[in-house]
């Protein structure tokens, strides 16, 4: 949800050198809805060569919406810990909707980070970068992004996506559970699934495994 792109460095390094990876970064000082963030994705998409779009968590509904516009060179869509509608439901959704910006002014407690994001067995070297990335975004922006997640609905767009889809799932994801994947597969039954033992931030915890899954998918879709 930080949108800084800083947490993808290890993943990009793990990709085969022949891949030209471009990381899309969102503004950290002002909130933009998905419709406005679409411009950032469009500007990063190659205009004359084939590409595959990879999105994680907060960005997955946006990636779905972009893929639904049928970019001429898009060959595949990869969703990591993704969702088409809010993964936060029931009483948790109500509670999340009441979170004030001041909450994001407080440094994320290590226990909460371990439980929800990086996993209890995450190396200490991962905690600091995640905390720094989140802390670099204005609290009001994080609050607005959370509220946007609560109301997002990209199911109609998903039904219009024509390219192959790969879903990378953290087997121990405590933020986006299996119901989000089931919802996507109900609309796109052909979705390929790769399950990796890890938490919500699966790309950050297991960059090499994720890079391998992405590379293999790209070889298939051409």
Residue 1's pLDDT is what? 79
| DSSP annotation of 56 | E
Q: Quick check: 41 pLDDT over 70?
A: yes
Residue 102's pLDDT is what? 56
Mean pLDDT of 165-179: 95
Interaxial angle between packed helices 34-44 and 60-67, expressed in degrees from 0 to 180 and rounded to the nearest 10 = 70
Of residues 160 and 114, more confidently modeled? 160
Q: Which of 164, 219, 157, 171 is nearest to 53 (CA)?
A: 164
Residue 49's pLDDT band, with cuts at 50, 70 and 90, is: very high
Contacts of 70 by beta carbon, 8 Å cutoff, 6+ apart: 160, 162
Residue 163's pLDDT band, with cuts at 50, 70 and 90, is: very high
- pLDDT (tens digit, 9 = 90+) per residue, 61-87? 999 999 999 999 999 999 999 999 999
In a 10 Å sphere around its CB, with 0-12 CB exposed, 13-18 middle and 19+ buried, how is residue 163 labelled?
middle
Residue 95's pLDDT is what? 74
Q: What is the largest CA-CA distance in the chain?
A: 47
Contacts of 160 by beta carbon, 8 Å cutoff, 6+ apart: 68, 70
Show me where the domains of the chain are located.
6-221
Just give the CATH number of 6-221: 3.40.50.1820
Is pTM beyond 0.85? Reply is yes
Cβ atoms of residues 7 and 31 within 8 Å = no
Mean pLDDT of 142-148: 91
Cα 7 to Cα 84: distance, rounded to the nearest angstrom: 22
Cβ atoms of residues 16 and 215 within 8 Å = yes
Q: Quick check: 39 pLDDT over 60?
A: yes
Cα 102 to Cα 8: distance, rounded to the nearest angstrom: 27
């Amino acid at each position: 949800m930080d949108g800084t792109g800083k947490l993808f460095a290890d993943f990009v390094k793990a990709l085969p050198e022949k891949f030209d990876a471009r990381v899309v970064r969102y503004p950290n000082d002002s909130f933009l809805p998905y419709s406005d963030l679409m411009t950032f994705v469009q500007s990063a998409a190659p205009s004359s060569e084939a590409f595959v779009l990879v999105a994680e968590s907060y960005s997955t509904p946006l990636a779905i919406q972009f893929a639904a516009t049928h970019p001429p060179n898009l060959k595949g869509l990869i969703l990591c810990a993704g969702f088409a509608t809010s993964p936060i439901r029931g009483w948790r959704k109500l509670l999340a909707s009441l979170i004030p910006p001041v909450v994001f002014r407080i440094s994320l407690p290590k226990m909460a980070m371990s439980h929800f994001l990086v996993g209890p067995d995450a190396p200490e070297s991962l905690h600091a970068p995640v905390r720094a990335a989140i802390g670099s975004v204005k609290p009001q922006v994080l609050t607005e992004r959370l509220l946007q997640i609560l109301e997002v609905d990209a199911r109609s767009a998903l039904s219009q996506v024509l390219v192959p889809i790969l879903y990378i799932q953290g087997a121990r994801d405590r933020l986006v559970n299996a119901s989000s994947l089931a919802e996507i597969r109900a609309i796109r039954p052909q979705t390929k699934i790769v399950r990796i033992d890890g938490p919500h931030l699966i790309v950050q915890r297991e960059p090499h495994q994720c890079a391998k899954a992405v590379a293999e998918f790209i070889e298939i879709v051409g």
